[in-house]
Structure 1
Amino acid sequence: MKYLYSVKIVCFCLTLALTSQCLLSSVQAQALEAPPQLDEATRQLLENSLSVNELDQEIKRITDQQNVAQTKYTQLEQNLVQQEKLLSQARHQADSVLVSYYTGERDDFWALFLSTGSLSGMIAFYDYYRMIIDHDQLLLSDYQEQYTQLTQQKNELYATATELGEISTNLSNQRTRVATLQQSIHQSLATSSDPEIARQLMNEMNEYWKNIGLYEVKKYFKAIALSMQQFPDYLKSQPGAIQISGTHYTISIDEQQLNQFLHVQGQLPESFQFKFAQNQLSVHGKEGNLDLDITGHYEIVNQPQNAIQFYVDKLVFNGLQLPDTTCRMLENEFDLGFYPQQIISYLKATSVTTEPQLMKIQLELSLH
């Protein structure tokens, strides 16, 4: 009887453990696959946790950038010291040359030249005098070159120092953001009815994003970026897409055209739909466990070349908004803009506007 009673207890414990695990897995699956059903407190907790991990990655990128800039700064300082020594030597030699001209020492050579008394002597003396003048010019040119190099290195050193200052400020700001979010997470866990499940949810979400979500998001961004390289050719093939009025050109793109192009050229799923709104382009797509919302806008940029560049204003993954640093990272990794000069080499974009269902780009002739 005792043996049977013990078996029943063990069976009951196993059943309870399996049930608890199933409930936990169900909650985790709900968080990963259907985030809109999460309550606001849980959603905010997961979003903060995801942001902390993304900001940690940004801090690592900034730290690496800081190390590179610091190494460059140190090397420039060393080069500057060496360059100042070379300049000092060149200045001393150049001063000697200028003094000799100022005091008339070079004029004495002409008197000697005229007193040589023979043609062969004059020719030999002239060759010698020419060597002196060439040497003088070499010393003066060397001084000018050293001075130019020193000025350039000082400017570069100043620019690197400024860059280091900006990097340091950015790093401090991101660390402050992380600290604030971590404090919010700790407070949420402290008031949670089940902190352990909440921690499990955060770990599951972060692992899912790191191992699957980020890869999938990058895959779609890459598809869009590759497609945009072909977009100018696509526009040229569309009747009425490019309108000409004197030296001014207007490109009109409706969202149906853009969707058709990206679904065919970029092989994006039909579930991914691009929509124009007032000064805004939004993308919504859902495939499998991934639910993605991108909101951004187009701007004209002129450096390093004239382009219509897309900027990501908001990125929401499975109902959780990612920090702006993730948006900037994706912008830097994938070029989502396109270039008017690929349509016609002498065109320059001057403005871009979006309104419901339509984007318009104004261009003008640029012969520069």
Structure 2
Amino acid sequence: MNVRVKYPILPFLLFIALLFCFIAAPVAVYSQQETSPAMPDSEEARQLLEDSLSIVEIDHEIERITKRLDELQVLQNELQIKIQDMGTRIEDRRDRAGAVLRSYYMGERDHLFLMLFSAKDLAGFFRIMDFYDIIIQNDRDTLTVYNNQYRSLASAQAEAARNAAQLADVKDSLVKQRERVLALEKQVDGALTASGNPDAMKKLIEEFTRYWENVGLYEVKRHFQALASAMENLPQFVQGSKNMLKTNGKVYTIDIHEDDLNAFLRSQDEIFNAFSFHFDDGKVTATGKNGNLSLLIEGKYTVINEPENAIMFQVDKLVFNRLELPDTTRKALQEEFDMNFYPKQLVSFLKATEVSSEDQRLVVKMELDL
């Protein structure tokens, strides 16, 4: 009996082992084969690769814009249906509200008040008074309902107008990005034709594109995610550091040396062990290299007040393995990852008014937000 039970289990275990091998295989293949292609020495070839990568990224931006366009169009259709429905329902209320207002303007309600003086006794007086209150309250309810419906309709119309404006902007952006891609494709086709070996360059473009989509984009997002997560803990780091936050009673100043910031970042995530920030000449530069991967982020901190007061990190340049990525990629990463610093997370009654990055120091000035 025991022997007969063991045999069916063996094929099952072999099946599980084989299944595990198949599942694990793509990871092994990925790590062994997806190595960075060699960057050509020619500046023309490097520019050709950069343009090709830009085409790929702008195509992704076109996909994002198209999706947003569809979402806005659906919202606009829903708003128009809502406005039509509210407009129909408000017509009856408008007539009732108009009748009430005319009755007061024409003095038609005055006789109700005069009826109080016609009461023959106190009980009659209160009966008339109750009747008067019922009519007056009904008038108020009619006006209140109409007013609320009118406000809702006006709000929906304003939202539809804003959405229509945004829809127009998105459509315009879509047209511009499509024109941009066509121009780049024409430029790349011309460069390929002019190159000594078009087939070899096409193959190199394919290799770089595949490497970017399989490895590069993942690594860039991994760095941005780590930076966004670390920024959430920056207020606590500033609070716990001596002499980093100072005040003269009215103006508060945060003074962070780049060495302190880099030490903080490395304490948050080991990814920053090969990644460092530098503050100088009004710019913030972050560079890192790990094996065949290199990344450069260049930008600046600015004060914003909408949707809330913050020190916003604006990415002006993004270079992956010596290839500069287009503005669409920078914008998409900024929207996906929040790398801002919020002073109110440090002290609730403060707001940032000025920020500078000079001589290896990031200085943020804040004032009372009363």
Q: How would you bin the TM-score normalised by the shorter chain? A: 0.7 to 0.9
More displaced 10-residue stretch of structure 1: 122-131 or 228-237: 122-131
SS for the counterpart of 2:273 is coil
Opposite residue 99 of structure 1, the aligned amino acid is R
Opposite residue 110 of structure 1, the aligned amino acid is F
More displaced 10-residue stretch of structure 1: 311-320 or 297-306: 297-306
Task: Please give the alpha-carbon distance, in whole angstroms, between the structure 1 residues aligned to 2:355 and 2:99.
Answer: 61
CA displacement at 1:320 relative to structure 2: 0.6
Task: Please give the alpha-carbon distance, in whole angstroms, between the structure 2 residues aligned to 1:258 and 1:184.
Answer: 42
Match of 1:127 among 106, 126, 130: 130
Matched, 1:263 2:266: yes
More displaced 10-residue stretch of structure 1: 338-347 or 348-357: 338-347
Paired residue for 2:243?
Answer: 240
CA displacement at 1:104 relative to structure 2: 2.6
SS for the counterpart of 1:314 is strand
Opposite residue 79 of structure 2, the aligned amino acid is L
Change (3 A) 1:250 1:109: closer
CA displacement at 1:166 relative to structure 2: 0.8
Q: CA RMSD in A?
A: 1.7
Opposite residue 340 of structure 2, the aligned amino acid is G
Match of 2:36 among 32, 36, 40: 32
Deviation string 1:65-112 (CA, Å, 9 cap, x unpaired) is 111111111111111122222222111101111222233322222344
Task: Please give the alpha-carbon distance, in whole angstroms, between the structure 1 residues aligned to 2:186 and 2:51.
Answer: 10
Which structure 1 segments of 5+ residues have no match? 1-28
CA displacement at 1:274 relative to structure 2: 1.3
Change (3 A) 1:364 1:110: closer
CA displacement at 1:269 relative to structure 2: 4.1
Match of 2:347 among 326, 344, 348: 344
Task: Please give the alpha-carbon distance, in whole angstroms, between the structure 1 residues aligned to 2:179 and 2:303.
Answer: 33
Matched, 1:363 2:360: no
Task: Please give the alpha-carbon distance, in whole angstroms, between the structure 2 residues aligned to 1:34 and 1:243.
Answer: 50
SS for the counterpart of 2:274 is coil
Task: Please give the alpha-carbon distance, in whole angstroms, between the structure 2 residues aligned to 1:207 and 1:167.
Answer: 29
Paired residue for 2:28?
Answer: none
More displaced 10-residue stretch of structure 1: 245-254 or 262-271: 262-271
Q: For residues 78-97 of structure 1, what are the structure 2 equivalents within 5 Å? A: 78-97=81-100
Match of 1:333 among 331, 336, 341: 336
CA displacement at 1:152 relative to structure 2: 1.1
More displaced 10-residue stretch of structure 1: 265-274 or 348-357: 265-274
Matched, 1:154 2:157: yes
CA displacement at 1:311 relative to structure 2: 0.9
Paired residue for 1:4?
Answer: none
SS for the counterpart of 1:270 is helix
Task: Please give the alpha-carbon distance, in whole angstroms, between the structure 1 residues aligned to 2:110 and 2:368.
Answer: 59
Match of 1:143 among 143, 146, 149: 146
Matched, 1:45 2:45: no
Task: Please give the alpha-carbon distance, in whole angstroms, between the structure 1 residues aligned to 2:118 and 2:235.
Answer: 77
CA contact (8 A) 1:33 1:318 kept: no
Q: For residues 66-77 of structure 1, what are the structure 2 equivalents within 5 Å? A: 66-77=69-80
CA contact (8 A) 1:248 1:362 kept: yes
CA displacement at 1:116 relative to structure 2: 4.2
Change (3 A) 1:311 1:329: same
CA contact (8 A) 1:273 1:283 kept: yes
Deviation string 1:212-250 (CA, Å, 9 cap, x unpaired) is 111111111111111111111111222211121121111
Task: Please give the alpha-carbon distance, in whole angstroms, between the structure 1 residues aligned to 2:111 and 2:178.
Answer: 72
Q: For residues 201-350 of structure 1, what are the structure 2 equivalents within 5 Å? A: 201-350=204-353
CA contact (8 A) 2:50 2:323 kept: yes
CA displacement at 1:200 relative to structure 2: 1.1
Task: Please give the alpha-carbon distance, in whole angstroms, between the structure 1 residues aligned to 2:61 and 2:147.
Answer: 44
**Percent identity for Structure 1 against Structure 2:** 39
Which structure 2 segments of 5+ residues have no match? 1-32
Task: Please give the alpha-carbon distance, in whole angstroms, between the structure 1 residues aligned to 2:86 and 2:111.
Answer: 35
Change (3 A) 1:56 1:112: same
CA contact (8 A) 1:226 1:266 kept: no
Opposite residue 339 of structure 1, the aligned amino acid is Y
Change (3 A) 1:269 1:351: closer
Paired residue for 1:168?
Answer: 171
Deviation string 1:268-313 (CA, Å, 9 cap, x unpaired) is 2432121111110111111122111110100111122211111110
Paired residue for 1:199?
Answer: 202
Task: Please give the alpha-carbon distance, in whole angstroms, between the structure 1 residues aligned to 2:97 and 2:169.
Answer: 40
CA displacement at 1:120 relative to structure 2: 3.1
Opposite residue 284 of structure 2, the aligned amino acid is L
Relative to the length of structure 1, the TM-score reads 0.87
CA contact (8 A) 2:72 2:167 kept: yes
CA contact (8 A) 2:37 2:208 kept: no
Paired residue for 1:188?
Answer: 191
Task: Please give the alpha-carbon distance, in whole angstroms, between the structure 1 residues aligned to 2:353 and 2:48.
Answer: 43
CA displacement at 1:127 relative to structure 2: 1.9
Task: Please give the alpha-carbon distance, in whole angstroms, between the structure 2 residues aligned to 1:269 and 1:104.
Answer: 79
Opposite residue 172 of structure 1, the aligned amino acid is V
Opposite residue 181 of structure 1, the aligned amino acid is L
CA contact (8 A) 1:33 1:290 kept: no
For these two proteins, the number of residue pairs brought into alignment is 337
Opposite residue 301 of structure 2, the aligned amino acid is Y
